[in-house]
A and B are shown apart, each in its own frame.
Chain A
Amino acid sequence: MTNIINLLETLAIDAKFSNDSTATLTEQLQQLELTDELTAEQQQAIINGDARLLEQLLNISPIKCQIIIEDVPGEEEPQEDDKPEKEAEISQVI
């Protein structure tokens, strides 16, 4: 597991890998000498850029939700305490 995380981090950070015009992911894996440590399926998922499959192969639970904002802030019945603030928020967004 740690080797895959290291791999993802290295590919993301190291400028020599983040340039599209350089080596393909297959070549990059070879350069990093990681091919022996990864299963063929893992390597294929990496090469295909298939994050979902890679998560499955590593038994990592996928993200349920990436949404962390109320679509319509301040629409719910405001509590007495935060009423003025909520109203300010509404007048700001409308």
Chain B
Amino acid sequence: MNNIHSKKSGSLVCVGLGMMLGAHLTPSSRSHIEQADIIFSSGNSGFIDVWLKTINSNVISLQECYQQGKSRRQSYQEMTELLLTAVRQEKKVVAAFYGHPGVFVSPSHQAIKQAQVEGYFAKMEPGISAEDCLVADCGLDPGSLGWACFEATQFLRFERRIDTSAYLVLWQVGVVGDSTLTQFSTSPSYRALLVEVLTEHYPQNHPIILYQAPRLAIEKTRIDKMPLIDFINAEVNQCTTMIITPANKLKVNKIMTDKLQKLERQRQAPKLSTIT
């Protein structure tokens, strides 16, 4: 929570750049970028920093925090520290993440929490996430049958309850199984483990979609439909998201349906007071 009486002049705003360069930046996020003393960026293409510099020249890339073989957890701590150091220097700091800055992003949440604990103003501005694009491009409505999202490695390593009558969306399938957090892509043998878990609930030939939103206006949208088993040897990368369509029909909850009907009957029954 922000302390409204805080006199400290440093601040942190985490903004989302959306998925496609130029297309998805909200007016308020643009304004934060324009007025920032410094912008730390984590984009989804090399063009992002060049583009951001056309809005405000003071851009520092967070990409330098990553290294193959170095734990990403360490990279995220470094990112958080970079943001907080600049805030403590009383700067107006903006952290610009591609997509939504709070969707599957650790350093933004961590830095905002810590900045607030230290008495600085810190907040998040929403952005258009990969999932928002997925809904639009694939023509799927999370509200129609329900929708569950998981991070792929977490999904693999923990026992989760799967509702096969809803959509299942798995993020970060390109690095599934990398519990060391040191790889930027994992091999088919890791993907086979994910398929193994999924085939406990879905048939091997159950349809899945591999989705990639375009990051630049010149790129094409990837919507690859395939049987689940083909995922093992499919082409995936850091920006692939998997959607698994519902396998089973919705099952009526008889007890609740009866209770609802009873309530409805009670509501419609004439009230005693109205009977003369």
Contact = CB atoms under 8 A, between A and B. Distances in A.
Interface of A: 1-2, 4-5, 8-13, 17-18, 25, 46-47, 49, 51, 54-55, 60-73, 76, 93-94
Contacts of B51: 5, 8-9
A12 B44 contact: no
Interface in B59-104: 63, 66-68, 72-73, 75-76, 79, 97-98, 104
Contacts of B21: 8-9, 12
B23 interface: yes
B154 A93 contact: yes
17 contacts: A1-B50, A5-B47, A5-B50, A8-B21, A8-B47, A8-B218, A9-B22, A17-B217, A49-B216, A54-B218, A55-B47, A66-B44, A72-B151, A72-B157, A72-B158, A73-B106, A76-B73
B52 to A, nearest CB: 10
A63 B51 CA distance: 14
Interface of B: 20-23, 42-47, 50-51, 54, 63, 66-68, 72-73, 75-76, 79, 97-98, 104-107, 151-154, 157-158, 172, 175, 178-179, 181, 184, 215-220, 238-239
Contacts of A10: 22
Given A60-B50, A70-B73, A93-B158, 18 more contacts: A2-B54, A4-B47, A5-B50, A8-B22, A8-B47, A11-B218, A12-B20, A17-B217, A18-B217, A60-B46, A63-B45, A64-B66, A64-B67, A68-B104, A69-B172, A70-B106, A70-B181, A71-B178
A51 B66 contact: no
Contact of A65 (B73, B216, B238): B238
A73 B154 CA distance: 8
A76 B158 CA distance: 15
Given A8-B51, A9-B21, A63 B46 contact: yes
B22 to A, nearest CB: 4
B76 A68 contact: yes
Given A62-B46, A63-B46, A49 B181 contact: no
Nearest to A2: B54
A80 to B, nearest CB: 16
Nearest to B154: A72
B63 A64 contact: yes
A89 B146 CA distance: 23
